[in-house]
Amino acid sequence: MLPDFTKIKEKFGEEYNKYLQKLTKQDPLFTGIKEEYLFEGNRMSNRPETGHSESHYQKYSSELSVNTDEIIKKGPQAFFEKIQGIADEIKEEKAKFLFRTVKEVTEETGNIVDAKGKPIEFETFYEMLDKIWIDFDENSNPIFPSLIMHPEMFPSFQKKIVEWESKTEYKKKMEELIENKRNLWNDRESNRKLVD
């Protein structure tokens, strides 16, 4: 009977999974999303301002297939050569789940701004910012959220931002919006500190 080396295989599996998690977290879409580890249960719930919310955990997986000849020829490298493909599949699953969840939540709360397939104009952009929470740093500067858009839309949107920043009426509206958001944030922080 050949030895099984269970401890070595277990350690290899742990390191492989750590590296796989590192690869999936490197995607810019996920770097800003906070992760929290929960060690029991099959669902989670919270109480947002819109009411009670409950969801089940989402499983992300991919299949790894390495034949014996590859393992004999390359050793552990045979597994690591396929890890990027697995990471890409998991990232795709996570992205689909993220966008599906965001769509469901925004539809449920009515927090949608529809540009109707047209290029984003200032009024649409302003309405989008007006509908979301904006946090502020310790110097009271706004921390704007990341915008996710199709790569083909980005160059024209970037030009529009420069154009809007050069026009006084747009700058004034944005300053008013930021001040309003700053006041809301200060109120939220004050209430949170009182409760904590």
pLDDT tens for each residue of the chain, 196 residues long: 556 778 888 888 888 888 888 888 888 888 777 777 777 777 777 666 655 567 777 777 788 888 888 888 988 888 888 888 899 999 999 889 888 888 888 888 888 888 887 788 999 999 989 988 899 998 999 998 888 888 888 888 899 999 999 999 999 999 999 999 999 998 888 877 555 4
Query: Closest Cα partner for 61 from 39, 37, 94?
Result: 94
Q: How far is CA 116 from the centre of its chain?
A: 24
Global model pTM greater than 0.75: no
Query: How far is 96 from 87, CA to CA, in rounded Å?
Result: 14
Q: Please give the sequence-ordered ranges of beta strands (E in DSSP) within the chain, or none if there are none.
A: 43-46, 53-56, 135-136, 142-143
Query: Closest Cα partner for 35 from 16, 13, 60?
Result: 60
